[in-house]
C-alpha cells in the first residue's frame, strides 16, 4: 500500500529472522512541544507548526527504522501493528511501538 510503513525481513545474528519497519516521527525544536509518530509519512505538501511564547516552530521530521517481532503485521485500516505476544495477540499504535523500541523491550529496537 503506497505510503504505508515499509517492512522488510532480515537474518538475525541468532540465525532467526527479524522484521524491520519504518516509523515517521514529527516533533518541534522547543521544550514541551508535541511529538507525533505514525506508520504513514506526512504529505510533502502538508505544513505542521507549533507556537510557543509567540514564536512559530516548523516541524522536524525523521524516518526511524525499528526492529519488531518477526510475525508482526500492519493493519493499515486500524493503523495498528499486530503480533503474537507471550500472553496472546497484541495490537499497538505507532507511538506505542516507538516507546517499546526506545525502552528496548523484548523484540523491539531502534536501528542506527
The per-type count for the chain, helices as H runs and strands as E runs, is: 1, 10
CA distances to 9, 31, 41, 63 from 47, rounded to whole Å, are 33, 20, 12, 17
Q: Are 94 and 81 in contact (CB under 8 A)?
A: yes
Task: Determine the Cα–Cα distance for residues 65 and 24; give it in Å rounded to an integer.
Answer: 9
pLDDT at 28 (0 to 100): 97
CA distances to 36, 65, 86 from 102, rounded to whole Å, are 15, 12, 20
pLDDT at 110 (0 to 100): 96
pLDDT at 14 (0 to 100): 44
Q: Are 104 and 67 in contact (CB under 8 A)?
A: no
pLDDT at 40 (0 to 100): 93
Closest CA to 20 of 12, 32, 28: 12
Closest CA to 53 of 27, 25, 33: 33
The reported pTM is: 0.80
Q: Print pLDDT tens along the chain (112 aa).
A: 444 455 555 444 444 567 899 999 999 999 999 999 999 999 989 999 999 999 999 999 999 999 999 899 999 899 999 999 889 999 999 999 999 999 999 899 999 7
Amino acid at each position: 500500500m503506497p505510503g504505508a510503513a515499509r517492512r522488510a525481513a532480515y537474518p538475525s545474528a541468532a540465525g532467526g529472522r527479524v522484521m524491520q519497519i519504518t516509523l515517521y516521527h514529527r516533533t518541534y525544536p522547543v521544550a514541551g512541544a508535541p511529538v507525533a509518530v505514525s506508520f504513514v509519512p506526512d504529505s510533502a505538501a502538508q505544513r505542521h507548526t507549533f507556537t510557543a511564547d509567540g514564536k512559530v516552530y516548523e516541524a522536524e521530521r525523521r524516518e526511524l527504522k525499528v526492529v519488531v517481532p518477526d510475525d508482526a503485521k500492519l493493519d493499515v485500516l486500524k493503523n495498528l501493528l499486530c503480533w503474537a505476544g507471550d500472553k496472546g495477540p497484541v495490537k499497538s499504535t505507532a507511538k506505542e511501538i516507538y516507546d517499546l523500541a526506545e525502552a528496548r523491550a523484548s523484540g523491539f529496537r531502534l536501528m542506527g
